[in-house]
Chain A
Amino acid sequence: MTPFTYSQPGDSTNAVVLGSKQEAKYLGGGTNLVDLMRETLERPAILVDVTGLSSVIEERENGSVLIGAATRNTAVAEHRSIRALYPLLSRAILAGASGQIRNMATVGGNVLQRTRCTYFYDSEGSRCNKRSPGQGCDAMDGFNRIHAILGASSSCVATHPSDMCVALAALDAVVHLRGAHGERMLPFTDLHRLPEDHPEIETRLEPGELITAIELPALPLAVRSTYRKVRDRASYSFALISVAAALELHDNGIVKDVRLALGGVAHKPWRAWKAEAALRGQPATEQNFQSAAMAELSEARPLRDNGFKIELAKRTMTAVLMELMEARA
């Protein structure tokens, strides 16, 4: 680990002043950043500890819920209103990592965690455009069972590892930011980038910009929602495929509204806009769920080892929608 100075500012304004300096990084629970620093994949000279900033979950008059970025993952999953109004978010968080890690990890840190692509981590033995831009990508023709099937580029096939973020993508969440030039908001689905030619640039954050909160808009259909994660072992493992979904039906069985997002498939949490569009106004049937899933996956591009993810994503989306439909009956 390279040496760094440490500070713990008392408010977000001071945090941004410190965090806007060259080679500064914001520090949450450290569950990803400390590991990356130990591997010298991250080498900040200044660490700005933002765990003392807002960790409040505020239910607002307009029906939205504002989650301070320093809130621990456990606290979000445990919150009574989150469990009642946005069960997919509680379930997604509880599907991720371990009890110990969820107690440490913050919401902001979870959002900004980096890929678990093994070639990204292997700085001594592998080429990686994310780690060393322009170097090449050894995952492309390597062992790429865990890699992306959607939205990848010729420079990067890494996936975003978060479970929580898949739920946030489905929920139309809004990211509250503070930077050197003041505050702004960004739709959560616009926060992370696809790799294109610059996989080293993972978000649309400006240098020094700080996530201060995540806002969940009022979304009544989320009361009937869930998260399903498919992985190599029953617990404490990253997703091969995950699905966050919410479903609302008319009395006659027609889909009134739906939210769908996928994890384990792309460089960012993947909102399944095409599948949602294909389902709205259609009868809620297994066949229509399958067709919608296939519409979403029509542009999926398998690598050598991960073609199974296309079928697995289709089956998981269908199964989750069936589960939500049957839970209503």
Chain B
Amino acid sequence: MQFVLNGKLTDADFDTRTSLLDLVRDHLGLTGSKKGCNQGACGACTILVDGERILSCLALAVQYQGRSITTIEGLASDGALHPLQQAFIEHDGFQCGYCTPGQICSAIGMAQEVKRGLPSNVTHNLLGETIDLSPDELRERMSGNLCRCGAYNGIVAAITEVYGEAAK
């Protein structure tokens, strides 16, 4: 079965029970994506499929044949960190770091959702053309990613620096 993994066409052979998370970690050796709860509660396994954020622990890999998968390992280009990776460092957006790959992939997917005008549970006007990525909007949209160290203030600051204005 073929996938495009971080831009490279990749072949893999696996049992139908394999999750997308186990595929990238155990079969393809990319251990950046983390297994926190393995039941869709923590967001540590968040990756991007065709640019959309999903939980790889609840995704059966067989369903994603031919799709373009981006993990934390695929974000840097030419040795330069993705701007959001850099911002997480500058704003202390982590302590132990376990949730960080999921936080960053989730925020990149989230920024695309904001850009195209997807409302959230705290968006007052459902019919507005643009979304102002306020702290309330950001926290609501990132609520699927837990951080047990409680680095939320740094996480919010990092995401706001990179996407707070760009989202407008």
**A and B: interacting chains:** yes
B119 near A104 with CB under 8 A, answer no
Kindly list chain A residues whose C-beta atoms are within 8 Å of the C-beta of B19: 34
CA of A3 to CA of B17, assembled, Å:
7
Question: Inside 8 A of A6's CB, which chain B residues have their CB?
Answer: 16, 60, 62
Task: Point out the residues of chain A lying under 8 angstroms from B106, CB to CB.
Answer: 99-100
Q: How far is the CA of A113 from the CA of B139 in the complex (A)?
A: 26
Q: Which residues of B contact A308 (CB under 8 A)?
A: none
Using a CB-CB cutoff of 8 Å, which residues 39-87 of chain B contact chain A?
39-40, 43, 46, 52-55, 58-60, 62-63
Contact A51 B63 (CB under 8 A): yes
Known A-B contacts: A99-B109, A100-B55, A235-B143. Give 9 more (CB < 8 A).
A3-B16, A35-B40, A49-B62, A78-B117, A87-B126, A90-B119, A99-B113, A100-B46, A104-B54
Closest to A98 in B: B144
Secondary structure class of chain B's binding surface, majority of residues: loop
Residues of B within 8 Å of A35, CB to CB, are 39-40, 58
Q: How many A-B residue pairs have CB under 8 A?
A: 101
Report which of B117, B144, B145 forms a contact with A97, defined as CB distance below 8 A.
Answer: B144
Contact of A101 among B15, B40, B119, B120 (CB under 8 A): B40
A30 and B63 contacting across the interface, CB-CB below 8 Å: yes
Considering the complex, give the chain B residue whose CB is closest to the CB of A74: B118
- Shortest CB-to-CB span from B129 to chain A, Å, is 11
Q: Is the CB of A49 within 8 A of B55?
A: no
10 residue pairs bridging A and B, Cβ less than 8 Å apart:
A34-B59, A47-B16, A49-B63, A83-B126, A87-B126, A94-B123, A99-B53, A101-B144, A104-B55, A234-B140
5 closest residue pairs by CB, A with B:
A98-B144, A235-B143, A236-B143, A83-B126, A6-B16
Q: Does A230 contact B (CB under 8 A)?
A: no
B63 touches A98 (CB 8 A): no
Say whether A77 contacts B143, CB under 8 Å: no
Bound: A214/B155 CA distance, A: 39
Q: How far is the CA of A35 from the CA of B17 in the complex (A)?
A: 11
> Which residues of B line the A interface, CB within 8 A?
15-17, 19, 38-40, 43, 46, 52-55, 58-60, 62-63, 106, 109-110, 113, 116-121, 123, 126-127, 139-145
Residues in chain B near residue A98, CB distance under 8 A: 43, 143-145
- The answer to whether A252 has its CB under 8 Å from any CB of chain B is no
Flag if B119 contacts A236 (CB, 8 Å): no
Contact A91 B121 (CB under 8 A): yes
Partner of A99, one of B40, B110, B127: B110
Contacts of A97 in B (CB 8 A): 144
Counting chain A residues whose Cβ lies within 8 A of the other chain, the interface size class is 35 or more
Give residues of chain A (34-58) contacting chain B, Cβ–Cβ below 8 Å.
Answer: 34-35, 37-38, 47, 49, 51
Quick one: which of A27, A31, A84, A94 contacts B120, CB cutoff 8 A?
A94
Shortest CB–CB separation between residue A247 and chain B, in angstroms?
17
Q: Which residue of A lies closest to B52 (CB)?
A: A103
What residues on A are CB-neighbors of B16 within 8 Å?
A: 3-6, 47
Contact partner of A103 (CB less than 8 A), chosen from B40, B54, B62, is: B54
Against B, the Cβ 8 Å flags (1 = close, 0 = not) of A78-99 are: 1000011001001100110111
**A180: interface (CB < 8 Å):** no
Asked if A1 is an interface residue, CB under 8 A from chain B, the answer is yes
Which residues of chain A are near B126, meaning CB under 8 Å? 83-84, 87, 90-91
Shortest distance between the CB of B167 and any CB in chain A (Å): 14
Q: How far is the CA of A118 from the CA of B1 in the complex (A)?
A: 37
Task: Give A314 to B38 CA distance when docked, in angstroms.
Answer: 37
How far, in whole Å, are A84 and B110 apart by their CA atoms in the complex?
Answer: 23
- In the complex, which residues 208-259 of chain A have their Cβ closer than 8 Å to any Cβ of chain B? 229, 234-236
Docked pose: A235 CA to B139 CA in angstroms: 9
Chain A minimum-CB-distance residue to B46: A100
A99 to B143, CA, bound (A): 8
Known interface pairs A91-B121, A98-B144, A99-B113; A83-B127 also in contact (CB < 8 Å): yes
CB of B144 within 8 A of CB of A30, answer no
Contact of A84 among B53, B62, B127, B140 (CB under 8 A): B127
Rounded to whole angstroms, the CA-CA distance of A8 and B54 in the bound complex is 20
Q: How far is the CB of A101 from chain B (nearest CB, A)?
A: 6
Contacts of A236 in B (CB 8 A): 143-144
Q: Are A77 and B119 in contact (CB-based, < 8 A)?
A: yes
Q: Which residues of B contact A94 (CB under 8 A)?
A: 119-121, 123
Distance in Å from the Cβ of B54 to the closest Cβ of chain A?
5
Residue of B nearest to A51 (CB): B63
A329 to B117, CA, bound (A): 28
